Amino acid sequence: MPVGRDVVIQPVVAVSKNSINLREKKILSLLKLLATMENKKFKLSKWCHFFIIKNDAVAVFHSLSMFVAFFDVNKGNKLKALKTVKHFKKTHISFLDEEDLSLLLDENLIVSSSFDELQQIYDLRENLLKNLRLDLMHLLLTDSCNMKCLYCFEDSPSKPKNFSETMMSEKTASQSIDFFSSLTKRYGSIDGDKVIHLYGGEPLLNFSALKSAVLRTEELKGSGVLSKKTNLVLITNGLLLTEEKADFLAENKVSIGLSIDGPKHLNDIYRISKDGNEVFSRIIKAYKIINERNINVGLSVTLTPDVVNNFSEVLDFLINDLKIKDGLTFNILHYNPKVPTSDDYFEKSADCIIRAFKVFRELNIYEERMMRKVKSFVNQEPMFADCGVVGNQIVIAPNGQVGVCQDFVKPKTYFGKFINDFGYNPVKDGLFDEWRKRSPLFMEECFDCEAVAICGGGCPASVELKTGDRWNIDKRICPHSKKTLNWLVLESFQNVDF
């Protein structure tokens, strides 16, 4: 008989007696169906995929529900052979006992020949669309930066000829918090966390506006206008962080996302300061200031080709030199003509992220990119999109203009009206309308992929800059999604009694 997934990546959840009774009733109903199905025609689901577990077993996986079961090699290969069969009768699957068949029918891995499989993805994506919540704001305090990192995605879109760098005013910063508060109260989750990213450019170039935003956030939280679960996160390169600024951030419980790409000889290849001075020692100084004040800090590590090729050294540096404790995110390179990549770069990057996760989980270190997919798989909750442009976020430019994507702040592509325009509601005004369905669950080219519900679709901005159309597949992310899913299935098998 098959063995279903035992969720050992997180604690196993107890099942109530009522749940067991409901399951028994469903099985009885399926057994009645089995008794009447002798002459009916069936097929393997469109969403049914197979993973060969070495010579030990075959995993049968439903790519929408993310249910997985394991069969011995003999049964598994016979099931897999049915993928090429248009439809079959019960006599063709006599190698399955009734419990096997009941499970496969129950999980819609085998369906009747007339079953409308596309309706499954239609229903799933519409349900997920209904549950999108606006809980994130990128507050771009400036579009200026004190660095000129070679891989920076903000410099990839073409800037207009009359472009000039802008600093957000203190008034606009404060009003932006009010604007977000109003929107998230109406369109955000009731009890979920809200996040405000203090962003740039380099936001520490405009500390006065940063202070204004932080103080207004705390004021609205104190009065109950803004959820007390609203978290402020400063995204910075760290070069301008002083003890005085860090004291203010610590006092107001502002978390920090700090960029660093490994030891000095790797970090300083791509992370270059405009003032011509070396960067690494200043990042380390900032990291020390942050840790001395027990500020929650997550590291942002870009997987440059040099980082990928020296990944053992980078892992050792992160764990033993920096002694990371609050987590990090690995960034797969966005499209940027200044940083050419080899044909196997994205495959290698995916391998690095999985490799790091194996080490980090033993040390209780949280890596965001991998954990998105782990949580989706473990909880069997499909990921609608990997990016907030579908309606989960708003972006406020330094001049107060409202947009959907921070990557396009300089040319102001996909930015609408201003926060001070009377009665402006970006949701009702249709700011997100062209983006809401930018998900693999709406992209037919993705339907046959085993990772369709765990992928999220990558970055629409990156793929638009490379191909001219945000609806094309972000092929940077395909290896990461597929390799991660394959590893999760294998990991599940290793933790069940087969």
Residue 470: name the closest of 441, 498, 437, 494 by CA. Answer: 437
| pLDDT for position 480 | 97
* Strand pairing category for 328-332 and 194-199: unpaired
Cα 195 to Cα 230: distance, rounded to the nearest angstrom:
6
Which segments of 380-477 does DSSP mark as H helices, in order? 460-467
Cα 305 to Cα 489: distance, rounded to the nearest angstrom:
28
CA 331 to chain centre: 11
| pLDDT for position 251 | 98
- Exposed / middle / buried, residue 338 (Cβ in 10 Å: 0-12, 13-18, 19+): exposed
Which segments of 111-206 does DSSP mark as H helices, in order? 118-130, 170-187
| pLDDT for position 196 | 98
CATH topology of domain 129-483: TIM Barrel (3.20.20)
Residue 409 CB coordination number (10 Å): 27
Of the chain, the end-to-end C-alpha distance in Å amounts to: 9
- Exposed / middle / buried, residue 16 (Cβ in 10 Å: 0-12, 13-18, 19+): exposed
Please list the residue range(s) of the chain that carry CATH number 3.90.930.
Answer: 3-115
Which CATH number does 3-115 carry? 3.90.930
Please list the residue range(s) of the chain that carry CATH number 3.20.20.70.
Answer: 129-483
Q: Positive or negative CA dihedral for 122, 127, 130, 132? A: negative
The rounded percent of the chain whose pLDDT value lies above 70 is 91
Q: Which helix (H) or strand (E) holds 140?
A: strand 136-140
Look-up: residue for tokens 């006092």?
251
| pLDDT for position 344 | 95
Note every long-range contact of 218-225, with CB atoms under 8 Å and residues 24 or more positions apart, other chains counting: 218/252, 220/177, 220/178, 220/181, 225/181, 225/185
| pLDDT for position 23 | 53
Report pTM.
Answer: 0.90
* Whether the Cβ atoms of residue 328 and residue 368 lie closer than 8 Å to each other: yes
| pLDDT for position 3 | 38
Cα-based distances in Å from 269 to 79, 260, 320, 461: 51, 11, 22, 25
Residue 382: name the closest of 461, 488, 453, 287 by CA. Answer: 453
Residues of the chain with pLDDT under 70: 1-39, 154-158, 498
Cα 427 to Cα 8: distance, rounded to the nearest angstrom:
40
Residue 418: strand pairing partners: 401
pLDDT in tens, 289-308: 999 999 999 999 999 999 99
Cα 438 to Cα 457: distance, rounded to the nearest angstrom:
8
| pLDDT for position 413 | 85
Radius of gyration of the chain (CA): 25
- What is the four-CA torsion angle of 459, 460, 462, 465, rounded to 10 degrees? 180
The type of residue at 226 is L
Residue 160: name the closest of 398, 411, 401 by CA. Answer: 411
Ramachandran bin of 458, using left for φ above 0, alpha for ψ from -120 to 50, beta for the remaining angles: left
Look-up: residue for tokens 């249910």?
67
| pLDDT for position 32 | 55
Q: Which helix (H) or strand (E) holds 51?
A: strand 48-53
Cα 223 to Cα 114: distance, rounded to the nearest angstrom:
57
Residue 110: strand pairing partners: 44
| pLDDT for position 224 | 92
Strand order in the sheet with 297-303: 328-332, 297-303, 255-259, 230-236, 194-199, 136-140, 393-396, 401-403, 415-418
Cα 161 to Cα 136: distance, rounded to the nearest angstrom:
31
